[in-house]
Structure 1
Amino acid sequence: MLGTIGAASVDALFTDVPTDALQSGPIPGLPFHASERAVERHMAALSARALTADQVPFFLGAGAYRHHVPASVDHLIQRGEFLTAYTPYQPEIAQGTLQVLFEFQTQVARLFGCEVANASLYDGSTACWEGIAMAGRITRRRRAILSGGLNPHYAQTCATMARFTGDDLVVLAPRAEAESDDADVIAAIDATVSCVVVQYPDLFGRIPDLAAIAEAAHAAGALLIAVVTEPVALGLLESPGALGADIVVGEGQSIGVGLQFGGPYLGLFATREKFVRQMPGRLCGETVDAEGRRGFVLTLSTREQHIRREKATSNICTNSGLCALAFSIHMTLLGGVGLGRMAQASHARAVTTARRLSAIPGVEVINRVWFNEFAVRLPRPAAEVVDALAERGVLGGVPLSRLCPDRADLGDVLLVATSECTLEDDIAALASALEEVLA
């Protein structure tokens, strides 16, 4: 194989890895051998040192949110016919999974206010890139505007992919201000732009005016991509599609999927029907068999696994099938009324939390409006405050310096998120601990 690809040795396959990152021998500090029981006991001791979301007051967000997942969700996804991470391709043996994904697509399309959705993608950040790539195919332009309110991790994922495609990404700087950067986004749009990417609600929890941005984008022949990292918000907010978004992408973790230490998560993707053949991933459709009985099949499979590589819309559109199933089950259990109640409770907890924190000397709530997440400015570096809160048994939020380490002017900004799981005692504990830390 080395001879066929023209490599002199196995080491030649790793020439792109910096030499200082290569390990030349055994990993320091790890024993060469230990019994299974000894390893289990050691790992359990390490795990016990962690503060988990269910054990302490928890206010972390920034793209991953703690919501209650009914026990029936985990029970159903562990059934043998469903327990797989991928979409089975054979319709004759996968009717149950294909039907669930058909219903999942319907739920996502309705939630996002679009006509069609795919059978899920890998996660929210890669779905964001897929939207940019799709907009480039539609408009035949290679320049995208990314709002400063977009989660920096999403922007970094897009920048990584753009290195290999030649796309020009204009990433606006995040600003910790009361209003979202709608005016800056609109001012950056011209006839060379394929799309504008706006998070809804944005990084700071603010609610951008998607309708105004969509109007400006369409006037220049560009598309609007709305990014939803907290889909529960759509239980209260108008859907992005109804406000003019052409492509809506997002992270489905909030519904049916636990925090899980950062993954696996679930990419959501929806668009208008006229763009369906440019949509990445797979689309499940309903049909009838030779005897007229209802059945389900993969209608579109536009990735390189199914068609010629040069014709594929994507080669990274792995989907998280089991997480999509969890999303669909939870959404089915909630229904529209249940989702609305979850959203109302999450928002109410955020309002109460913001009111309590704003009463603490030196703490300023930046937002004017928000859903379940808002930004506060502290009189000390937010990362130091978060560490001090954790020492007091409170996970008090995400310091913006963790997302924007190169922005010293944002070092005192803390993102605080709530959900229906947030208790009055949790809010009181956060306020009390923060007062003590800032005293």
Structure 2
Amino acid sequence: MRYLPLTPDDRRAMLATIGAASIDDLFVDVPEHARLSGPIDGLPNHASELAVERHMAALARQNVAAGDVPFFLGAGAYRHHVPASVDHLIQRGEFLTAYTPYQPEIAQGTLQMLFEFQTQVARLLGTDVANASMYDGSTACWEAIVMARRITRRGKAILSSGLHPHYVSVARTMATFTGDAIEATAPCLDAGPDTASLIDRIDDDTSCVVVQYPDILGRIGDLSDLAAACHAKKALLIAVVTEPVALGALKSPGEMDADIVVGEGQSIGVGLQFGGPYVGLFGCKQKYVRQMPGRLCGETVDADGKRGFVLTLSTREQHIRREKATSNICTNSGLCALAFSIHMTLLGEAGLRDLAAINHAGAVAAAERLARVPGVTLVNDAFFNEFTLELSKEARPVVRALADRGVLAGVSLGRLYPNEESLANGLVVAVTETTTAEDVETFATELEEVLA
């Protein structure tokens, strides 16, 4: 069978049904400059399977793997050591082929795993309850904003300048369909987060304040005063955690009275994988559980009194009337959630705390060494495993020059904020347990030569 077994008559009938004159009419919302006007240059119309395999392998060899060179990239996706047992277990046939349980009670193993995952996430985030996962951190962040809209019946979200700009972009895109007002600004190269400014901007129209913890520059702030200010105006505080390993060392957002806590779980059990798939984390206070998107697995007993697991809540559009659904998310990131849960189980609470301590100690040592390089200033006065440097030169060409020398030196703020000249010299550097002292010394030596 062909991939698209449609005849020209089939296509004409489908177009007539939807009122389109041609297939091109379906792409009118795609800007002209983004459309292909013909075949992709350099690719033949036909090739053998062997030729295609060789060509793709040659392209793949141009990539630099994270483990091949000193690696300091972060900004929302982090290189951590994932034990081999994680991949071994998730590739068992029972898990690798599992999909959304449409007859959920049949899939007791899947439900039990998700129940354990939820428990781990709730404890990590400091929330009363957590769901069975989301697609990733950025979409979880948006789901939290629209959840706050439902709870408060207000339509203005104030986003911290320290929120990852990609998360801001997702929120802006989705808000075009809901009418929510998204207030967001770019950060300044200050030592501390913008807590005071956020408090000053909360008013009676505010549905929520969204703050990242630690933020995009690696800065850490106490969320307690911000939570109190939100609640005084009957708004919600949403905390975003892109590096969950940090919560092995830091007080959780839930402990500081955040109403909704979301995040990216990639750091635990999930490799970088060229950008995905990842796993979104979502937790909230018990009183808001019925407004939480996605699914919630629960524990019960069967007719014989034996322990069993069920879908306790499933307020998504496939299970109830669309207009009543809290989200149109069609599945959770089950396999990545499983990897997260296995890795977290292997670590345990003590292991997570030890891992966090190793990350922080390595980052402190790296920050101190790099700050001694002429032309480098450390911006942060507090951080976990990620910090920001201000260079004497624009960071983007410095990062490129260091990459040519075999050092992946971090994420330039000019890449994240291309229209903000004040951030052009900023460089976000991440250090994890995979970073060695030799890596740091190589980075410092090469950086000094590039800045000279």
TM-score by length of 1: 0.98
Deviation at 1:7, TM superposition (A): 2.3
Deviation at 1:62, TM superposition (A): 0.2
Q: What residue number does 2:402 align with?
A: 389
Taking the TM superposition and a 5 Å limit, the aligned residue runs for 1:4-403 are 4-84=17-97, 86-316=99-329, 318-403=331-416
Q: SS at 1:81's partner residue?
A: helix
Q: SS at 1:194's partner residue?
A: strand
Query: Could you list the per-position Cα deviations for residues 213-250 of structure 1 after superposition, in whole angstroms to 9, with x for gaps in the alignment?
Result: 00111111100000000000000000100001000000
Cα distance in 1, alignment partners of residues 24 and 375 from structure 2: 56
Cα distance in 2, alignment partners of residues 17 and 91 from structure 1: 39
Contact 2:100 2:331 in 1 (8 A): no
Cα distance in 1, alignment partners of residues 395 and 33 from structure 2: 32
C-alpha RMSD of the superposition:
1.2
Q: SS at 2:343's partner residue?
A: helix
Cα distance in 1, alignment partners of residues 443 and 33 from structure 2: 42
Contact 2:127 2:285 in 1 (8 A): yes
Contact 2:318 2:330 in 1 (8 A): no
Specify every segment of 5 or more residues in structure 2 that has no aligned partner in the other structure, as ranges.
1-13
**Which amino acid in structure 1 is aligned with residue 374 of structure 2?**
P
Cα distance in 2, alignment partners of residues 219 and 317 from structure 1: 35
Q: SS at 2:106's partner residue?
A: coil
Query: Could you list the per-position Cα deviations for residues 10-58 of structure 1 after superposition, in whole angstroms to 9, with x for gaps in the alignment?
Result: 2222222223332232222111222222222222222222221111100
Cα distance in 2, alignment partners of residues 199 and 23 from structure 1: 38
Cα distance in 1, alignment partners of residues 30 and 118 from structure 2: 40
**Which amino acid in structure 1 is aligned with residue 373 of structure 2?**
I
Deviation at 1:298, TM superposition (A): 1.1
Cα distance in 2, alignment partners of residues 436 and 85 from structure 1: 51
Cα distance in 1, alignment partners of residues 151 and 104 from structure 2: 31
Query: Could you list the per-position Cα deviations for residues 392-411 of structure 1 after superposition, in whole angstroms to 9, with x for gaps in the alignment?
Result: 11101000111111111111
Cα distance in 1, alignment partners of residues 135 and 395 from structure 2: 31
Cα distance in 1, alignment partners of residues 185 and 37 from structure 2: 41
Cα distance in 2, alignment partners of residues 5 and 36 from structure 1: 37
**Which amino acid in structure 2 is aligned with residue 280 of structure 1?**
P
Deviation at 1:295, TM superposition (A): 1.1
Q: What residue number does 2:433 align with?
A: 420
Cα distance in 1, alignment partners of residues 75 and 32 from structure 2: 34
Contact 1:139 1:194 in 2 (8 A): yes
Q: What residue number does 2:8 align with?
A: none
- Higher alpha-carbon deviation: 285-294 or 417-426: 285-294
Deviation at 1:83, TM superposition (A): 0.8
Matched, 1:434 2:447: yes
Q: SS at 1:38's partner residue?
A: helix
Deviation at 1:317, TM superposition (A): 5.5
Query: Could you list the per-position Cα deviations for residues 126-159 of structure 1 after superposition, in whole angstroms to 9, with x for gaps in the alignment?
Result: 0000000000100111101000000000000000
Q: What residue number does 2:3 align with?
A: none
**Which amino acid in structure 2 is aligned with residue 38 of structure 1?**
A
Cα distance in 1, alignment partners of residues 174 and 94 from structure 2: 35
Q: SS at 2:96's partner residue?
A: coil
Q: CA 1:5/1:195 → structure 2, altered by over 3 Å: closer, same or farther?
A: same
Give runs of ≥4 in structure 1 deviating > 4 Å: none
Contact 1:86 1:319 in 2 (8 A): no
Cα distance in 2, alignment partners of residues 292 and 107 from structure 1: 26
- Higher alpha-carbon deviation: 95-104 or 2-11: 2-11
Cα distance in 1, alignment partners of residues 16 and 50 from structure 2: 44
Q: SS at 2:123's partner residue?
A: helix
Cα distance in 1, alignment partners of residues 323 and 97 from structure 2: 29
Q: SS at 2:71's partner residue?
A: coil
